[in-house]
Structure 1
Amino acid sequence: MNETELRRIKVLLVDDEPFIRLTLRQILMQIGIPPSSLYDAGDVKAAISETLRIRPTIVLCDIHMPGEDGFAYVATLQKAPIPEVAATPVVMLTSDSGEEAVMTAKGLKVSGYLVKPVSIAAVKKAIERALKVTLS
């Protein structure tokens, strides 16, 4: 994937912790995704709104958040009446490595599952797998 294609990727970061969203922004910028292509939301309601507004290429989503959790976001997304939105790849990014959470994610057919803390290489690989591309 060349620089022009990389600039077209829109990433939505969904996490209730501002520090985590900031850290993810920095990781994604190191991968080569420009800041203007990074969006974020602090809860599921805001995430659904942003998803419909920006139509992200991929979503990195926490599981455990106040109110609805990341699984509720994925389930809502997959039921969207707009096929392009319903098919948005979601990589769960969580501190929960428990079997129940992993199995729930598998059941929702998420595109990836990363356990925090994450490395730049792990985030890059998860995005490449989800989008079926190679990032330069």
Structure 2
Amino acid sequence: MMNLPACTALIAEDEILLAESLRQELSRLWPALDIVAMAGHGQEAVDQALRLRPDICFLDIRMPGLSGLEAAAALAEDWPSEGAPFPLLVFVTAYDQYALQAFEHAAVDYVLKPVQAERLAQTCERLRKALLARQAEQPAPALLQSAVDQLRQLLGTSALSASGPAHGVGASPSGRPEPLRLLQVSVGSTIQMVPVDEVLYFEAADKYVRVLTRNKEHLVRISLRELLPQLDGQRFWQVHRSVVVRADAIDRAVRDESGRLTLHLHGSADTLSVSRLYAPLFKGM
């Protein structure tokens, strides 16, 4: 057994029996690992992790609200650059070929449901080695950037896997869905037609999406996750987990002293923050 200082972990799993089974197995395989929180959904996992700053997060891929990948992305966006290093991530997933291929090519680990003791023991050993290596070699900001790069890769693979003809979207001759051109927005007893070309940006708002044009704001009952595949990815850029902006509506991107980017738009006083995950979109020529 490697000598490690006290280590902490968070388990995010919406199925109580599976969560307890994982906790018990970890207790047997790694008695010194302190499970500081058990979260039942993605947002709770994010809130608890930001509060407790665990060394390791075990995240179920499919949870109510935020998925495991989305919860990890939210952590990467909100994790402070100074202080405790970004947690090591282990995704817990049912068999999914895309997931296995993605995780094999990223420096995170995964375990399959139902969790097998032998496989979990391998994961624990990898985690111990990673904890020792990061204590000896890398400062916290470098670890955070490494995690952001890996998550960007995983999220990109996830988007490709999930994309497909969305409801109400026609298919092009190549078989790909045609980008959405018109939003049908309910305003009382009226259906208002809003050309997508007039939208400055979309912003997630609970179970709705705020649609902002130069002169108006609309609410549509759809999640940003459902809307995103229907948009033209060349014209609409995701810049935060909750914001998608029309690229040609951006006037300038301003970087502050900490390296954070803020977008200023044509025809609007609104400003939009760019998260760490999407900052590489903006590079001067």
Give the structure-2-normalised TM-score: 0.40
2:102 matches 1:66 = no
Counterpart residue identity of residue 98, structure 1: Q
Candidates 20, 27, 41, aligned match of 2:18: 20
Is the alpha carbon distance of 1:81 and 1:61 closer, same or farther for their aligned partners in structure 2, counting shifts above 3 Å?
closer
Q: Secondary structure in 2 aligned to 1:10?
A: strand
* Aligned counterparts, 1:50-129, within 5 A: 50-83=48-81, 87-99=86-98, 101-102=99-100, 105=103, 109=106, 111-129=108-126
Q: CA deviation at 1:62?
A: 0.5
Match of 2:28 in 1: 30
Match of 2:40 in 1: 42
Structure 2 gaps, min length 5:
132-285
2:89 matches 1:130 = no
CA contact (8 A) 1:97 1:115 kept: no
Q: Deviation per CA, 1:50-108, whole angstroms, max 9, x where unpaired?
A: 10121111111110112111110111112224135672111101113232x3455568x
CA contact (8 A) 2:62 2:93 kept: yes
Instruction: Name the one with the larger strand percent.
Output: 2
Counterpart residue identity of residue 29, structure 1: S
Q: In 2, distance between residues paired with 1:125 and 1:132?
A: 11
Aligned identity (percent) is 27
Is the alpha carbon distance of 1:123 and 1:62 closer, same or farther for their aligned partners in structure 2, counting shifts above 3 Å?
same
Q: In 2, distance between residues paired with 1:53 and 1:71?
A: 19
| Larger RCO: 1 or 2 (CA < 8 Å, sep 6+) | 1
CA contact (8 A) 1:80 1:86 kept: no
Is the alpha carbon distance of 1:79 and 1:117 closer, same or farther for their aligned partners in structure 2, counting shifts above 3 Å?
same
Is the alpha carbon distance of 1:126 and 1:114 closer, same or farther for their aligned partners in structure 2, counting shifts above 3 Å?
same
Q: In 2, distance between residues paired with 1:40 and 1:65?
A: 13
Give the structure-1-normalised TM-score: 0.79
Q: Secondary structure in 2 aligned to 1:12?
A: strand
What is the root-mean-square deviation of aligned Cα atoms in Å? Answer: 2.6
